[in-house]
Every structure is written in structure tokens, then in C-alpha cells.
Structure 1
Amino acid sequence: MEGIKVLEVAQFTFTPAAGAVLADWGADVMKVEHAVTGDAQRGLKIGTGGAAAGSFQPLMEHPNRGKRSVGIALETEAGRALLDELIAESDVFLTNFLPAARRKLRIEVDDVRAVNPSIVYARGSALGPRGPESEDGGYDGSTFWCRAGSAWGGTAAGASMAASMPSGAYGDSMGGMTIAGGIAAALLKRERTGEASVVDVSLLSVGAWATALSIGTALLLEENPPKMPVENMRPAIPVNPVIGTFPTSDGRFINFTMLQPGRYWADVCRHIDREDLIDDPRFDTDEKLIENAIPAGDLVAEAIAAKPYDHWVEKFETLEGQWAKVQSPLEVADDPQVRANGYILMVQDLEGNDRELVSSPVQFDEAPYDVSRAPQFAEHTDEIVLGLGKSEDELIQLKIDGAIT
């Protein structure tokens, strides 16, 4: 993306995360922030690094690293005119402002295309650009997770509470990656045909894609997929004794996801020190193993529950089938595979401290990214405005007029 200029008029995480991905890929991303308050997310305290982290707050760093920030009062004529100058030299216009705000600020597709007909216009929304709720907003916890089916799918039948998202910005991060991919495809189309596209991604569309298999099954059967009642939940699934998440003696968990039980059963039995089960007449053929999957799974669970997590992590290093440790965020960050592949990147914060962030997931030519921190509010206003050819006197006058920060 080197040489591509992205103009971002967006806030919070969902759509700005797309700008972060594009910045990882080499684009020059200019983040336009409210001239007084900046991105509304700068004022949130949820999921921040706390006072001890100083200027480095993951809530802002994750979706905004690698960008430049300019503070522009878009509600002023001088500020709006300045935005037009930035639009004229940009390849992509990226926004998640609600339709009413876009109309008020004159940043709808027609407004932007009037200045730059070849610009790719990308919108992130909660509920899509059409339909009776297209004017409404939403967040990933509400729209992506709950409305699009993940909360339902993650909640056992009869549970007293619906499952929560497993991480902050869970749907936002996936949605941002999706927007970035859509923009990349639109830029390729423009290069090949000269035509500029409007790219739309919503939290609802990404959420439905995440639960697509369940939705597709429901459409086929005209009923929801069955769910295990909470009182009947067991570590192994009822049709395969080597698919499930098994508790260990110290309250940790080990996951098996072996789709071919007959192929892996004997090896699993050896690793859990139950070689006697290999020739057990209940399990000695593929057919009988599937027929007796519940007792077989219970025996696997019983064996794993007898010893601690670290024992099994070491023991299963030679396991042939597919398994995984159920890891905490700190454990994921320290995972040797995560580190070996450059999935955690070093970044220097404003104070010069070395910090770390998760890389965006696509790599090119097996090379991790070299990323920089997120900008401070309006940090690059002077640089960006002067880059438009304005003089120092014009820069000062724009500040006096309240058009820029």
C-alpha cells in the first residue's frame, strides 16, 4: 500500500481498525479528528492500560497505530474547505459516521466524489446502508455479537445468562480487517478499470459471516441447530470422544478437535495412559467408537481430569491429533509460535518506552511489519496542513479562525 493515501473520518474501533491495517500495509493514513475533543474513544476508560501506561493506551493504539492525526473543525467553512483539499489528494475516504452526521458535514459519497471522482469511498456501519434501520448506530457487543448470532451460539440451552464477547473490540477488530480487505479489492478494481467503488461493511454483515454455518444450517432445516442443555453439558461432544474441551485437575482446560476419531483413538489412549481402551470391545472399530462416543468421551475426560494442566501440555507434545491449550491473553502473548511468526510487534511510545501490540493478521513475503505508535490528538495538524502548500501565515489564520487544532 505504499503510495496510497487514506483519509479517515471515523472514531472508536470498528472502522479505524481498518485504517490501522492499511497503515500496517504501508498506506499513509491521515486521521481527521474533532478539533476540540478528538476521537470520542480518547475519553473512554474501558480496557485502557491505566495511568501507569502513560500515553500508551491499547484502546487507542490498537486501531490507530501508524497514522497521522489532524484536528479539523468540519462544521466550519474553512475547515470543510481544508477537508476538500485532503480529499482531492487521497485514494480512499474511510468513515463510520452515521448518515445524519455525514449529511450534516457534507461527507456523503456525492459530496466526496464531487471533489475527487476517483476516490474509493468506504463506509463502516452497524446495520448496513439499506433497510429501515440503516440510520441507526451500534457496537460490536450489541450488533456483531448479540444480533448476528454469536451470543446465542455461545450460550448453552438453559443458561441463566447469555455468553459475553471474549474480548474487547472482538467484532470491531474482525470488522476492521474485513473493511481493509474490501478497500484493497476496490483499489485493485480501480487500477484495472479506472472505476472507483463504494465499499460497505457492517457489524451485522461481519457477525452473520462469523455464524454463517449455523445460519445456513437453520435455513436448510427451517429450524435452529440443536443446543446442549446446560445441565447435560459434558467435556466431549456426544458423537466424537476426541472433540471437546477437557478440564484438568487444577482448573485449566485442554481442547481436542480431532475430526477423525478412529484415526486418532489409539494414540489418544496411549497418551492418557489408558492403553486398555484401545482393544476395549466397545471401541475397537470406528463404527463402535462413534456408537459409544459418550462413554468413550467420559473416560477421556476422567483421565485428563486426574492430572494438572502442565502435565498434559508436556505429555501431548507428541500427540498425533489436533489439540490446543486453552490460553489466557498473557499466555497467547508469550506463545513461542506467536513470537516466532512476528504476531507481536514492538512499538515505541511517546515517552520512548518499548511497548508491544498485536500485528494485523496478514503477512506479505513472510515479513512482520515495522509499526509506529498511534498519534496523539492532532499531533500532525501543522505537518499535514503545510503539506497542502499552505504558508505559515495561512496555518496561523486557520487556527485563529477555529478551523484546525
Structure 2
Amino acid sequence: MIRKPLDDVTVIDVSSYVSASFGTMILANLGAEVIKVERPEAGDPARSAGPPFIDGESPYFMSVNYGKRSIELDLKSDEGLSILRELVADADAFVENFRPGTAERLGIDYESLAEVNESLLYCSVSAFGEDGPWTDRPGYDLLIQGMSGLMSVTGEPDRPPVKAGVPVSDLVTGSWVAQGVLAGLYERERSGEGDRIELAMYDAILPYLTKHAGAVFAGESPERMGSRDPVIAPYQVFEAADGYLAVGIGSQKLWTEFCAAIDRADLATDDRFETNPDRVDHMDELEAELEATFRERPVEEWVSLLSDEHGLPVGPINDVADALENEHVEARGLLTEVDHPTAGDVPVVEHPLRFDRLESGFDDHAPVLGEDTRELLAERGYDDEEIESLAADRVIGSVDRSADRNSGEES
């Protein structure tokens, strides 16, 4: 059987919401067993994110938790803490996104858990990190987008700042989580030692400022430019006869070919647009010239002419449904389905890494709250009577969910 890269890796995920959860989902996609620890009866607050809901389940929660197992544990109880330590003893990595100091108060900080697993990789995620004057501030994606400068360069120049349409600082942070754990696993193969990885959402987004940070370092003040790019032109959205086009002309060679393809050879010899710096300096005039041309034809005709016939980087502005449901997505298998115990067949957006020798991908749905509690405890030697006792004492949540699921699968 073809294996996945992280088949023998176990990750304990006590995080909530999106940032760290997205990172552990990347690891699950690569084959890791990710055990999501949730509060009994309440679970991850992201479970209530909606509407919409599918049979009571949040699609948003699902989108960052595919392929995980769920156990409900009261970490404020001695019994719950003991079970967590049992899980950690067999794990490779532990991921949390409490506010600084919370893990220590619960007794699940790195030093405490390293006592039961000295080779543990422990990843802590917070809004602003564990030192500095902002360390005690709470933070969500919106705040990080605003405070990091990202919103100051997103939107139209004469309009208020806007956030990106997706929770970009959450998702970027999650990618750093996965990179950090993978780097730690690689290093542990050499040293045999565990380590602690500390990650702040604010820190995670700053490297992505790239050209805008570079402009500040050069003494400039980046501003909102709509879809324009500050250093390349034309590199923006233009209005066609029936919609909008993304046009990315990123080199002088492409510029010459582009002008010929749209039958505007005059632009290639215009002094205002001769070089890329010239075009950047005269964006307003360039936009007016190109917009007048693009409005002469519908989007589909422009894409066919420029992208399909001339190989130029031009494409339509799709809505989300169009982006997910098209012949290219189908051909590359980017949408799959998993069977959910209450929601039925649920579409899943697959992750982009493809290996020649190995597999990746989601084999299972996002878990129902506590779905795997009974099974995970049984795997560690708890009998039915002990499990029922833990449920009665509210150390764990209901143990009926996994039984109901298995019953449904057998019928």
C-alpha cells in the first residue's frame, strides 16, 4: 500500500478557531494522526460559525478540520489532564493557541508535558507572542490584518481600508505551524530531542508584506491601489464588455506581445509606456487606454484570444462557485468528497502537494464533536465501565456519538 509522508506521526491539537487548526489540518492531509481535544459538550467555538450549517454542522469548521479525530476532555479536571498526558506520551507533536500564560495555568505547558514525553515538539500560537508590550492583547484575523499594515494597502485609494476576503493572517499562521512542526520533526531525527516552537500571528504576516515592506525601507509610504500593483504595470483588473479580466504583464517581452495581441502596437512605442518604470509612473493613462480597448469585447473572447491563442497571463474574475466547479478542477481532482455521519457526502477542497512515490489527501471527514472519544480511550486500555464513569463525571462528553456513527455505518 502506498503510504503518506507523515503516516507514523501523531499530533495532539488543543487549538480552536482557524490559525493553528489550519496548520494541523495540513499535517492530517499529509498522513498524520491528528487528535483534536475539545471542551465537553461545547467543543471548538468554530463549530458555531455560521450560518450556513449543514445538518447542524458548520462548513467553516469542517474546512479547517478534515481528517482529524475528536475527543472531548475537561482539561480543568485531574482526570481529564491525566488522559491528555496519556495522549501526549504517545505523540510526536502538540499544538495550542491559548493566550500566553493559559497553558501554564492548566498544567499543559511545554515543561509539564515534556516530563511525560521528552522528545515532544510543542508549538504555541498566540496573537502577538510571549514577549513585547502587546503580549497580553487578544487578537483575531481582523485585528492582525489591520495592525500588520495589510489592510492599509488593500482596497481602493479613495475608500476605507478593507480586509482580505479570506482570513489570510489565520491561514498564513497555519502554514507556519505546519512548517515549524515539519522542521522540528526533521531536526529531531538528527538530535533525538524535542523542542518548543513559539509563533505569533503578527510575526507570521509581516514577512508577507514583501514589496510593501521594501517600499518602506526605501523611504516610501505604500497606499491602497485597488487591484493595481505598486511596481509592475499593467498588472491589475480591467473591465471588459460583460465582466472583469485579470491582466498580469510581468515582463518587457510580455508587454510587446500583449500590445500586438490586442492590436494596440501604438502602446508599445508610446514614450509613456516604453519600459516598466515608465508604465508604473503613468498608470492612470495606461489604465484609460487599456480599459477602452477591453470594453470592446466580452471576457470570454479576451481570454480565448490572449490566454489560449497567445499564451499571455490573462484570466477571468471568477466567483467562488466558478472557481470550484470547472473543467480544470475536475481534471486535476481538486474537489473530492468524504462521508460525514450527519451531513452525508461533503465536498472537500484537496491540498496542492502531490508526490510521485507517496500519497496525500483527506481520507476522513471533519469530526463530529467527541466522535472518537470512546475509541481513543479504548485504544489506551479504558473499558466500557471506566468510560461511562468518566462521562458521568463530565470529564468527557457523551460517549454515544461514536456508537451512533458506527451503527449508522453498519445499517
Structure-2-length-normalised TM-score: 0.86
Q: Which residue of 1 aligns with 2:180?
A: 182
Superposed displacement of residue 319, structure 1: 2.7
* Partners of 2:67 and 2:362 within 8 A in 1: no
Segments of structure 2 that go 5 or more residues without pairing to the other structure are: 1-5, 398-411
1:163 and 2:162 correspond: yes
For the Cα contact (< 8 Å) 1:272–1:300, is it kept in 2?
no
Q: Residues 12 and 36 of structure 2 are in contact (CA less than 8 Å); yes or no, is this contact kept in structure 1?
A: yes
2:378 is aligned with 1:380: no
Give aligned pairs, total.
389
Q: CA deviation at 1:64?
A: 1.0
Partner SS, residue 15 of structure 1: helix
Cα deviation for residue 123 of structure 1 reads 1.2
The correspondence of residues 95-114 of structure 1 with structure 2, limited to 5 A, is: 95-114=96-115
Distance (Å, rounded) in 1 between the aligned partners of 2:231 and 2:196: 46
Q: Distance in 2 between matches of 1:249 and 1:20?
A: 42
Structure-1 residue corresponding to 2:298: 308
Relative distance call for 1:313 and 1:66 in structure 2 (3 A) is same
| Comparing 32-41 and 53-62, the one that deviates more | 53-62
Deviations, residues 289-343 of structure 1 (Å, cap 9, x unaligned): 7587654543222110222222222222223332232221112112443443333
Which is worse superposed, 61-70 or 320-329?
Answer: 320-329
Partner secondary structure for residue 99 of structure 1: coil
| CA distance in structure 1 between the aligned counterparts of 2:68 and 2:76, rounded to whole angstroms | 23
Q: 1:132 to 1:269 in 2, by over 3 A?
A: closer
Residue range with higher mean Cα deviation, 308-317 or 17-26:
308-317
One-letter amino acid matched to 1:224: S
Provide the rounded CA distance (Å) in 2 between the counterparts of 1:191 and 1:200: 20
Distance 1:391 1:293, change over 3 A: closer
Residues 136 and 115 of structure 1, relative CA distance in 2, 3 Å threshold: farther
Instruction: Measure, in 1, the Cα distance between the counterparts of 2:9 and 2:289.
Output: 58
Q: Does 1:397 align with 2:386?
A: no
User: How is 1:114-125 mapped onto 2 (pairs within 5 angstroms)?
Assistant: 114-125=115-126
> Distance in 1 between the 2:229 and 2:134 partners?
39
- CA deviation string 1:28-50 (max 9, x = no partner): 111111013111222232xx433
Alpha carbons 2:40, 2:73 under 8 Å: kept: yes
Alpha-carbon distance, 1:402 to partner = 2.0
Q: Is the 8 A contact 1:236 1:301 kept in 2?
A: no
In 2, Cα distance between equivalents of 1:111 and 1:239:
50
Moved more, 90-99 or 339-348: 339-348
Q: Does 1:225 align with 2:222?
A: yes
Alpha-carbon distance between aligned partners in 2 of 1:40 and 1:62, rounded to the nearest angstrom? 14
SS of corresponding position for 1:73: coil
Distance 2:331 2:317 in 1: 19
Structure 1 position 70, deviation (Å): 0.6
Distance in 2 separating the partners of 1:86 and 1:198: 18
Which of 257, 260, 265 is matched with 1:267 structurally?
Answer: 257
Q: TM-score, normalised by structure 1?
A: 0.87
Give CA deviations for 1:4-49 in whole Å, capped at 9, x if unaligned: 111111111111111111111101111111013111222232xx43
- Residues 98 and 288 of structure 1, relative CA distance in 2, 3 Å threshold: closer
Instruction: Using the TM superposition, name which of 23-32 and 174-183 deviates more.
Output: 174-183
Question: Aligned partners of 2:282, 2:212: CA distance in 1, in Å?
Answer: 26
Task: Return closer, same or farther for 1:124/1:339 CA change in 2, 3 Å cut-off.
Answer: farther
1:203 aligned residue? 201
Contact 2:237/2:244 (<8 A) preserved: yes
Q: Does 1:139 align with 2:131?
A: no
| Aligned counterparts of 2:198 and 2:362: Cα–Cα separation in 1 | 29
- Per-residue CA deviations over 1:114-168 (Å, capped at 9, x if unaligned) read 221110001111111221222332111111x111111011134442x2112212x
Output the CA distance in 2 between the equivalents of 1:31 and 1:292.
Answer: 53
Q: State the match for 1:36 in structure 2.
A: 41
* Partner SS for 1:132: coil
- Conserved 8 A contact 2:88-2:113: yes
Distance change (3 Å), C-alpha of 1:226 and 1:63: closer
SS of equivalent residue, structure 2 residue 19 = coil
CA distance in structure 2 between the aligned counterparts of 1:377 and 1:283, rounded to whole angstroms? 61
Unaligned runs of 5+ in 1: none
Aligned twin of 2:7: 2
The structure-2 alpha-carbon separation of the partners of 1:279 and 1:116, relative to structure 1 and needing over 3 Å to count, comes to closer
